[in-house]
Amino acid sequence: MKLKFLAIVFVFLFISSIFPQQPDRDGVLSAMKTATNFMTEKVSIHGGYLWNVSEDFSKKYGEVPARSSQIWVQAGTPMVGMAYLDAFDVTKDNIYLDAARKAADALVFGQRPMGGWHYAIDFEPKGLQEWYRDKASKFKWGMEEQRFFNGNATFDDSNS
């Protein structure tokens, strides 16, 4: 429910910034495609997403500052993928189904051998342990499974 509300708000805000008056159906569909193209071509990392990305893409965050090769499972990729599925359900336009499949593929890439997921998925493992030790751990104290990555999965925040 929260995801659908956020998707509707996102589309409404995007549309209201483009159209000074009430848009028609074609205008709404056009704005949705424009937003989806922007998200898949500019924001997405291998089909996945983070929580926040700065306007100039220089800063990227999940629950902690993220590496440029990371996506987030918790409140990131699954939520955006579900928004694409909602858009496909309403429009039957394959652009949204393709975007949802890319998000699903990113999640499959990051699935741990035991079947679950960690908080983040990193497509470039080189330097990952150092990043957790030197960067991520500075933002999380007392939450050891978030501060370090040892190939584990978590049930925290419905990640798995």
Query: pLDDT (tens digit, 9 = 90+) per residue, 4-50?
Result: 656 666 666 676 676 667 778 898 999 999 999 999 999 999 999 99
Q: Which of 88-97, 119-128, 147-156 has the highest mean pLDDT?
A: 88-97
Residues with Cβ within 8 Å of 43's Cβ and at least 6 positions away in sequence, in order, are 49, 53
Euclidean distance between CA atoms 73 and 64, whole angstroms: 13
DSSP string, 21-52: S---HHHHHHHHHHHHHHIIIII-BTTB--SE
The encoded tokens of residue 11 equal 């589309």
**What mean pLDDT value characterizes the chain?**
83
Identify the CA nearest to 114 among candidates 77, 149, 151, 145: 151
60 strand-pairing partners: 53
- The per-residue pLDDT for 146 is 55
Is 60 exceeded by the pLDDT of residue 2?
Answer: no
- Enumerate residues 6+ apart whose C-beta is below 8 A from 152: 112, 118, 145
Q: Which of 35-49, 89-103, 115-129 has the lowest mean pLDDT?
A: 115-129
pLDDT band, very low/low/confident/very high, at 130 (cuts 50, 70, 90) = confident
pLDDT band at 83 (very low <50, low <70, confident <90, very high): very high
pTM higher than 0.85: no
More confident of the two residues 66 and 77: 77
pLDDT reported for residue 153: 78
